[in-house]
Amino acid sequence: MRLLIVESPSKAKTIEKYLGKDFRVVASVGHIRDLPKSNKAAIDIEAGFVPRYEVVKGKEKVISEIKSLAKKADEVILATDPDREGEAIAWHVAEAVKLHNPKRIVFHEITKEAVEEALEHPRAIDEHLREAQEARRVLDRLVGYDLSGLIWKKVRYGLSAGRVQSPALRIIMEREREIRAFVPEKFWKIWANLNNLDFECSIEPRKIEDVEKILAEGKKGDWQVTDIKETKVARAPRAPFITSTLQQYASSRLGWSPSRAMSVAQKLYEAGYITYMRTDSTNLSQQAKAQIKDVVEKKYGAEYFESHAFAKKSKNAQEAHEAIRPTHVSVERAGSTDDQHKLYSLIWSRTVASQMKPAEVMRTKVVANIDGRSIPDFWLNGSRILFPGWLKADPASASEDVVLPKFAQDENLKLSGMRSEEKETTPPPRYSEAGLIKELEKRGIGRPSTYASIIKTLEDRGYVNKLNKALFPTDTGEVVSTFLENHFASYISDSFTAEMEDELDEIANGDRTYLKTLKDFYVPFTKEVKAKEKIEKITNLGAAPADMKCPVCGGEMIIKLGKSGKFYSCEKFPDCTGARTMEGKELEGPKDTGEKCPKCGEGNLVTREGKFGMFTACSRFPKCRYVKKDEEQEKQNSTGIECPVCKAGFMTERRGRYGVFYSCSNYPDCKYAIKAKPTGNICKICGALMMEGTKTIPERCSDKSCPNHNPHKLDKIK
C-alpha cells in the first residue's frame, strides 16, 4: 500500500478517484503544527530564532491516524500544495509523524494526468522553500507581538499591529488624508441633446449669467458637426488570471470579497476544475494553449486564434507555475454551486480570450457647435467595434465601448433641448478591496496567498469598515496607523516591506540564509521598540474645538479613543467625568456616588454601565480595581450552598465572557469557581462539590482531575 498525504479532505477524495487500489489518500486538514500563542514559548531567539512548534488543538487524532497508516505503507508520499505553505505543511507532517525519507510530489492541477506525472517525478522536501515559509511565520510573530505589546501600553489595551497589514492600513489612511485635504473646485457642465444624443461641455467657474448666455445662444442657433476625429486602435487581450487579478475581477464583476473569491476558487481547484489558484505567473503550458486553440477554432473560427505570451507582473513570479486556468478548456461550465459556476465562467472566458486576436476598435470624437461658433465646443466620445477579436469570448468587456452612429463633417444636427448643472471636482476615491489588492501588488507588499487575509485581518480587527465596496478607516485604525507612522515609519514603509518579501524569496531560492535574515531584521528592530518604551502614553488625541465644552463642569474638552471610537472627554477626567460624542451629544458617563473607595482611599465610587448591567467601582480604574458588591443581587444569585474552600461564603451565580459560572461570594478573597450549578452533594471519590451535568450524566464532580468528572469513563474503568 502507498500512502499519499494532502491537506484537504475534498482534494483527497478527488485524487483517490484517479489512483488505483494500491493507494490510500488521507488529509492533514490544513496545518497540524503551529507556534504556541505565548510569544515567550514560541521562539528561542538566543538559539538562532528556533521556533518551538506544538500540535494544533484537535489534530492529535489526525496525526495518530497518519502514523498508523504510515507504519503499514510501503511508501509515503507528501502531496501538499505547490507553494511555500504547502512545503511547510509537508515538512510538519513528516516531523510530527516521524517519517523517514518521505517522497514529495507537486502538481498544479488535480487531474489524473497531472497526478500520475507528478508520481513519476518525486523529490525530497525543499528545505529552502520550507525555511522561507518559516522565516515569514517567525517574522510576523516577532513584529506582531513586539509592536502590539507597545501599542497596548502606549495607546489602548487589545490593539495590534502586523508586518504586512500595518503597511496596508497606512496606504488606506494616506488616501483618507488626501480626501480630507482635498479642496473641491466648482465648474459647470452643460449638455446639448443633438439627434437624441447628449453632447457635453465643461467650463471653469463663471457667473451664472455666462452659462445662461451659452444656453440662450445654443437654443436659437443652428447646430452642426464641426469636427470628427477617428482613431483606429487595437485592444489587446488581457493576461490569464493570477491570484490578484482574479480577486480584483471577482470584486468588480461579481461584487465578491477577496476571501470569498479564494474560498470558491479553492473548491474548484480541489474538485479538479481549475489549476492552482495561488500564483503570480501568467504562463500557460503548451498543452493548455493547444486546448485553447482547438476551442477557439471550433467555437469562433480559425481567424480568431492568436497565441500570446505575457510579461510577468511580479519580478519574483515563479515561472514554473501556471496562470489560473481551467484544467480542461473544452469544459465551458463547471462547479457544483452557483458561485462555482460564476467564478469558473470568469476564469474560462479570461483564459480563452487571452489567446485570441486583438479587437479592432474605431475611437471616435464628434465635436459640435452652432453657426458662428460663438459658444464653447460640445463633444461626444464613443467607439465602434470593427473586429471583436477576444471580446467574443469575454463579451462583458465589450460594454466598456459606447457605440456611436456614423456622423459626417458639417452634418446638420437637431437640437431637442439643453440643460446645465453646477458641479465640483471630487477627491480621489477610497480604495475598494480590488483596488487595495492592485495597489499592494504594485508596491510589492504581500504575496498572492496573503492578499485576502490582509484585508480580512484589517476588517476583523475593526481598523477598516466596508461601505458600498469602499474601505473606510475607523477611528481606531486611524490612531493605530498614526502611531506606527510617527514611531515606526521605516518598518511599515513600502520599501522595507517589499525588500523583506525579496529577502524571503532569496531564502526560497537558496541565495540567503534563514539566520542572517532574521538577525539582520530583529537586532535593530528590537532596539527601536525598546527605545520607544520611554515615550509617553497617548492619553488624548488633541484638543476639542473651542465651542465644545464639558456638559458637566463647562470646562475644556479633549479627544480620546474609546472602544467604540473617538469621543470628547473633559480634560479634568477623572475629577470630572463629562463626555460627548464626536457629534456633540452628551454621553452618560460614570455617576459619582459621593462615597470614597474603601480599598485605595483616593478615588470616589462611581456607578458605571458594563457589559452585564450597572455596577459600582472605583473612579481610579484601572489603577484601582475595587468593585462594590451588590448585596441584594448577591442574595438573589446565591445557591445557598457553602463554599467548600473558605467555608465562609456561598456559591453564587455569575456571568463572564464565556457565559454563566458559579463562584464563592467572598471573591476576590476566595477565588473558588466551577463551571456548572452545584447540586450540594459531595463527590465520594475526591470530596469536591458535585455539579449539574447533562441529560446522560445528571451529576458529575466539579474537579476535572477526578474520574467522577466523567462517569462514562468511570464505568469503563470499573
Q: What is the CATH number of the domain that holds 396?
A: 2.70.20.10
Beta strand 2-6 with 23-27 is parallel
Residues of the domain holding 39:
2-125
Q: What is the pLDDT of residues 652-687, one digit of tens each?
A: 988 776 678 899 988 777 889 998 899 989 888 888
- The reply to whether 540 falls in a domain is no
Q: Which helix (H) or strand (E) holds 618?
A: strand 613-618
Please, what sign has the CA dihedral across residues 686, 690, 692, 697?
Answer: positive
Catalytic residue numbers, as ranges: 276
Summarize pLDDT for 470-508 with one digit per residue, the tens.
999 998 899 999 999 999 999 999 999 889 989 999 999
Tell me whether residue 671 is exposed, middle or buried, using C-beta atoms within 10 angstroms of its C-beta: 0 to 12, 13 to 18, 19 or more. Answer: exposed
227 and 376 within one domain: yes
Average pLDDT over residues 54-76: 93
Residue where a domain terminates, one of 572, 603, 628: 628
Give domain status of residue 317, yes or no.
yes
Q: Are residues 259 and 343 in the same domain?
A: yes
DSSP for 171-215, please give it: HHHHHHHHHHH----EEEEEEEEETTEEEEEEE-S--HHHHHHHH
pLDDT score recorded for residue 312: 65
Total residue length of the chain: 718
Q: Which three cell numbers stand for residue 536?
A: 509617553
What are the start-end ranges of the E strands in 374-457?
378-387, 412-413, 415-424
In terms of domains, do 385 and 453 share one? no
Give 42-50's long-range contacts (Cβ < 8 A, gap of 24+).
42/141, 43/138, 43/141, 43/142, 45/522, 48/515, 49/138, 49/514, 49/515, 49/518, 49/519, 49/522
- What's the rounded mean pLDDT across residues 316-320? 47
pLDDT, tens digit, 9 for 90 and up, residues 18-46 = 998 899 999 999 899 999 887 667 899 99
Q: Could you give the percent of the chain with pLDDT greater than 90?
A: 60
ω before 668 within 30° of 0 (cis)?
yes
- Same structural domain for residues 613 and 465? no
Cα dihedral value 217, 218, 224, 227, nearest 10: 90
pLDDT digit string, tens, across residues 222-241: 999 999 999 999 999 999 99
The answer to whether 311 touches 304, Cβ cutoff 8 Å, is no
Task: Give the model's pLDDT for residue 341.
Answer: 97
Q: Is residue 281 part of a domain?
A: yes
In a domain, 131, yes or no: no
Q: Write down which residue in 378, 401, 424 finishes a domain.
A: 424
CA distance 650 to 667: 10
Residue 414 lies in a domain: yes
Mean pLDDT of 535-541: 82
pLDDT band at 168 (very low <50, low <70, confident <90, very high): very high
For the segment 286-311, the average pLDDT, to the nearest whole number, is 94
What's 254's domain CATH number? 1.10.290.10
Q: How many domains does the chain have?
A: 6
Residues 119 and 8 in one domain: yes
Residue 536 lies in a domain: no
Q: Where residue 110 sits, what CATH number does that domain have? A: 3.40.50.140
2-6: strand order across its sheet: 23-27, 2-6, 75-78, 103-104
pLDDT at position 717, please? 43
Least confident range of 80-84, 103-107, 275-279, 621-625: 621-625
pLDDT at 399: 65
pLDDT value at residue 718: 42
Interatomic CA distance for residues 223 and 415, integer angstroms: 7
112 and 14 together in one domain: yes
Reported as half-sphere exposure (CB side, CA atoms, 13 A), residue 498 has a value of 12
Same domain, 416 and 464: no
Task: Give the Cα separation of 280 and 244 in Å (integer).
Answer: 8
Q: What is the SS3 string spanning 419-438?
A: EEEEEECCCCCCCEHHHHHH
Greatest CA span in the chain, whole angstroms? 109
Q: What local confidence, expressed as pLDDT, does residue 609 receive?
A: 67
Please say if the pLDDT value at position 456 is more than 80.
yes
Q: Given the DSSP bridges, would you call strands 197-203 and 638-642 parallel, antiparallel or unpaired? A: unpaired
Q: Are residues 269 and 347 in the same domain?
A: yes
Residues 69 and 171 in one domain: no
Same domain, 570 and 483: no
d(CA 238, CA 704): 62
Tell me if 649 sits within 8 A of 673, measured CB to CB. no
DSSP classification of residue 274: B
Cis before 622 (ω within 30): yes
Boundary of a domain, candidates 330, 357, 384: 357
SS3 category, 608: strand
Q: Please report the pLDDT score of residue 314 as a whole number.
A: 54
The model's pLDDT over 417-428, given as tens digits with 9 standing for 90+, comes to 999 999 999 999
Q: Are strands 415-424 and 186-194 parallel, antiparallel or unpaired?
A: antiparallel
Burial class (CB in 10 A: 0-12, 13-18, 19+), 84: buried
Q: Say whether both 144 and 53 belong to one domain.
A: no
CA 571/CA 57 separation, integer angstroms: 47
- Inside any domain, residue 346: yes
Distances (CA, A) of 89 to 32, 117, 125, 284, 510: 7, 22, 10, 27, 19
Specify whether 9 is located in the same domain as 78.
yes
Residue 444 lies in a domain: yes
Backbone angles phi and psi of 494, in degrees to 5:
-60, -45
Q: According to the model, what pLDDT value does residue 317 have? A: 46
Q: For cell 452652432, name the residue.
A: 370
- pLDDT at 562 (0 to 100): 80
